[in-house]
Amino acid sequence: LNGGAVPSAPPTYT
């Protein structure tokens, strides 16, 4: 019962 997308986030601004 897993699946689900891998969480991701935008890269930090530099």
Partner 1 sequence: MAINENALRKMLSKGYKYRDLTVREITNVTTQYKDLRPVMDNYVFNDGSTKELLSLTGTVPVTYRGNIYNIPICLWLLDSYPYNPPICFVKPTSTMMIKTGKHIDANGKIYLPYLHEWKHPQSDLFGLIQVMIVVFGEEPPVFSRPTTQTQYPAFQT
Q: How far is the CB of 6 from partner 1 (least distance, A)?
A: 6
Q: What is the DSSP string of 1-14?
A: ----PPP--PPPP-
Rounded distance between C-alpha atoms, residue 10 and residue 12, angstroms:
6
Q: How far is the CB of 13 from partner 1 (least distance, A)?
A: 8
Which positions from 1 to 14 touch partner 1 by CB under 8 A, shown as an x/- string?
A: xxxxxxxxxxxxxx
Q: How far is the CB of 9 from partner 1 (least distance, A)?
A: 4
Rounded distance between C-alpha atoms, residue 9 and residue 14, angstroms:
15
Residues that bind partner 1 (CB under 8 A): 1-14
